[in-house]
Amino acid sequence: MRRRRRKNLPTTPITLDIESLSHEGRGLARHEGKVVFVEGALSGEQVEAVLIDRRSSFDVARITEIHKRSKERIEPACEYAGVCGGCSLLHLKPEAQLLFKQEMLFDKLSHAVPGKEFTALEPLTGPVLGYRRKARLAVRYVHKKNQVLIGFREKNSSFITHMNNCQVLDVRIACLLPELIELIGSLEGYREIPQIEVAAGDPDISDTTFALVFRHLQPLAENDQEKLTSFAASKGFALYFQPGGMETVHKVFPVGGEDRLYYRLPEFELTLGFHPTDFTQVNAEINCKMVSRALELLELGEEDSVLDLFCGLGNFTLALARKCGSIIGIEGAQAMVERANENATANGITNADFYCADLSRSMLGASWMDKTCNKILLDPPRSGALEILPDIVSLHPERIVYVSCNPATLARDAGYLSEQGYVMAQAGAMDMFPQTAHVEAMVLFLRSDAC
């Protein structure tokens, strides 16, 4: 069957009135009865734009001129804002970004549980620049430019943004970008490094406070390894190589010692260690506030028995353990369970037990299933927690604190809990990723007879 060729897009600019922002942070307009998403446009603006993509149900356009500007528009702090796909809202005032995220969250929750009032929590906020402690940076040699590029993907593209700095990355990492570009360009294997994973801990805990993991497609020449190691030694970061899958990640510098970075939760006198490739929250200040809020909402006492689902390396679990009688943390990756136990031991916590289990399946019948748990915290991935909600409900917990990184699946799960007799009592946004449309949230559910 012959493929139908996509018609050439019109090159004549069109005038659009922006009605609102989409959930991805793009301006939403209508033209000739069809939805048009406009990159970089804000609600209330009138813009001139050209189409850059056409789909059956919507078009995508790029601004060529702004006729009427929003009062919320600002000059982006980053020179790559119009190109780089790492951030989508740098042109919007931070307070307006937060309002947009709150409205999106509350709109989804209100539709999921119609007619039910809940208390809106104050949003959790922190630094809007230089906050990002974890990232995966793409690397590519571009023949036409005769240059190595390091950065995030361009908007709606597989190309890499040509960038020498990044305003949202931790400054310890961002300041290295120009030198990293030059360094990789000088290697024999400059074409063989497609990615650098970066991770940073708190800056004052150990001599090595951040790490770079170099993915490489072919074995690196000895001279290249020496150059990278020398650079790591001069800049004071831990150097890792990754020649294959995640299981091949290994530390090259410094030689010896634990493969750990560290961060603190000072309110709970905790210091947590993590491997550079472990999942940790990218925004340290928001993480501290998030853990504190979770404890406030759970209202823990020594008589409480808690279940922490999707517990990771113990970020919430160990803080909760300081305030409750006992706690069980469940995580799907055995390596993270081992890390959580390691952190519990290092912090002198003896009332926390950790187990590995697939939380996309029923928990009933598991050896660790504690039917006396009266309070539950869950922090699932973007897919949510629908598969285990029936098991959670069967425990009849008094309080459930749900931490979410996806308002859509949170709303779906909130609807289910509401149907099972739980009241959505409080909800609030957490600005974990400023300058982006990404929304994190925390919701408190109460058993109806415990309200």
- Look at residue 249 and tell me if it is in a domain: yes
Per residue in 199-239, pLDDT (tens digit) is 999 998 988 999 999 999 999 999 999 999 999 999 999 99
> Is 356 a known active-site residue?
no
Say if residue 168 is in the same domain as residue 227: yes
pLDDT (tens digit, 9 = 90+) per residue, 271-287? 999 999 999 999 999 99
Residue 122: which CATH number?
A: 3.40.50.150
Q: Assess contact for 21 and 43: CB atoms under 8 A.
A: yes
Asked if 329 and 446 sit in the same domain, the reply is yes
Strands of 18-130 (E only): list them: 20-21, 27-31, 34-39, 46-54, 58-68, 119-120
Domain assignment of residue 87, yes or no = no
Peptide bond before 266: cis, by omega within 30 degrees of 0? no
238-242 vs 195-200, strand pairing mode? unpaired
Nearest to 330 by CA among 385, 256, 291: 385
Alpha-carbon distance values, 84 to 66, 79, 80, 175, 261 (Å): 20, 9, 6, 17, 29
Query: Domain for residue 337, yes or no?
Result: yes
Count of domains observed in the chain: 3
d(CA 344, CA 325): 15
pLDDT for res 451: 63
pLDDT at res. 157: 85
Catalytic choice (78, 166, 311, 405): 405
User: Does 115 score more than 90 pLDDT?
Assistant: no
Query: Does any domain span residue 75?
Result: no
Task: State the pLDDT at residue 1.
Answer: 39
Query: Stretch 295-313: mean pLDDT, rounded?
Result: 97
413-440 pLDDT, tens per residue? 999 999 999 999 999 999 999 999 999 9
pLDDT, position 5: 45
Q: Specify whether 297 is located in the same domain as 209.
A: no
Q: What is the mean pLDDT of the chain?
A: 94
Q: Domain limits at 431? A: 98-127+283-450
Is 83 contained in some domain?
no
Calculate mean pLDDT across residues 35-44: 95
What CATH number should be reported for the domain holding residue 151?
2.40.50.1070
Q: Is residue 82 part of a domain?
A: no
- In this predicted model, what pLDDT tens digit does every residue of 239-272 receive, in sequence order? 999 999 999 999 999 998 889 999 999 999 999 9
| pLDDT band of 3, cuts 50, 70, 90 | very low
**With 90 as the cut, is the pLDDT of residue 304 above it?**
yes
DSSP-derived pairing of the beta strands 352-356 and 326-331: parallel
Q: Is residue 227 part of a domain?
A: yes
